Amino acid sequence: MSASLLLSMSAFALAASISPGPVNLVCLSSGTHYSLAKGLIFVTGATLGFVALFLGIGAGLYSLLESLPLLEKLLRWGGVVFLLYLSVKLARDNGRLSQQASLKAPSFMTGALMQWLNPKAWIASASGISAYTSGSDLTLIAVFALLYLPICWLSLASWVVAGAFLKHHVQKPWLLVSINRLLAALLAISCVYLLLD
């Protein structure tokens, strides 16, 4: 396995992990509402959920979904419902940071589940595996997953840190409400994309 292949896979993993998507938006929102530690618990769940999905797709899960169109539709609609639920919660937030401690932060399991319902995660996994592996080389798929692990975690964590930065430097509730509603709208738009794709 060449160093250039590993570098190329790492660059792909970084681009796929750090670019905006539903999970990244929830990471940003977590950073604006909760402690950094709570945001990183969600990040860890999302990272491990993604790596499990990646390995599952590498082991043939994607071809199973293609052969069972009803299962694929159920997964798609489940993702839409889950993302809409998160966007409504975000849109209804009042932006008052002092009240956030009483609300429950997104959990480890929410992060893991969200990746399985996230169309971006499915696309990134399937396209990465098809671009860099033969699909049958399980060793190469495992190496790719091991590369993804720290890259995905650090990428998602950077969104939480960006949210924490906003929380510390933007103390105006009306501005946080605006940010929340923008994030909620982006999550809802990702649902439209999921339905039309």
Residue 62 pLDDT: 65
23-27, 91-95, 164-168, 182-186: which has the minimum mean pLDDT? 91-95
Domain count, the chain: 1
Q: What is the mean pLDDT of residues 60-72?
A: 72
Q: Compute the distance between CA of residue 14 and CA of residue 153 in angstroms, rounded to an integer.
A: 10
CB 97 within 8 A of CB 179: no
pLDDT, tens digit, 9 for 90 and up, residues 26-64: 898 888 888 899 999 999 999 999 999 999 988 887 677
Phi, psi dihedral angles at 60 (to 5 degrees): 115, 10
> Rounded mean pLDDT of the chain?
82
Mean pLDDT highest for which of 45-59, 60-74, 87-101, 121-135? 45-59
- For residue 70, what are the domain limits? 3-196
CB 121 within 8 A of CB 13: no
Residue 98 pLDDT > 60: no
Q: Which amino acid is residue 180, in one-letter code?
A: N
Residue 171 pLDDT > 90: no
Residue 143 pLDDT: 94
Gyration radius of the chain over CA positions:
17
Residue 150 pLDDT > 80: yes
Residue 5 pLDDT > 50: yes
Looking at the chain, the whole-number percentage of residues with pLDDT higher than 70 is: 83
Q: CA–CA distance from 119 to each of 21, 108, 112, 170, 190 (Å)? A: 9, 19, 14, 31, 9
Looking at the chain, the whole-number percentage of residues with pLDDT higher than 90 is: 29
Residue 42 pLDDT: 96
Residue 130 pLDDT > 60: yes
Residue 196 pLDDT: 67
Residue 102 pLDDT: 47
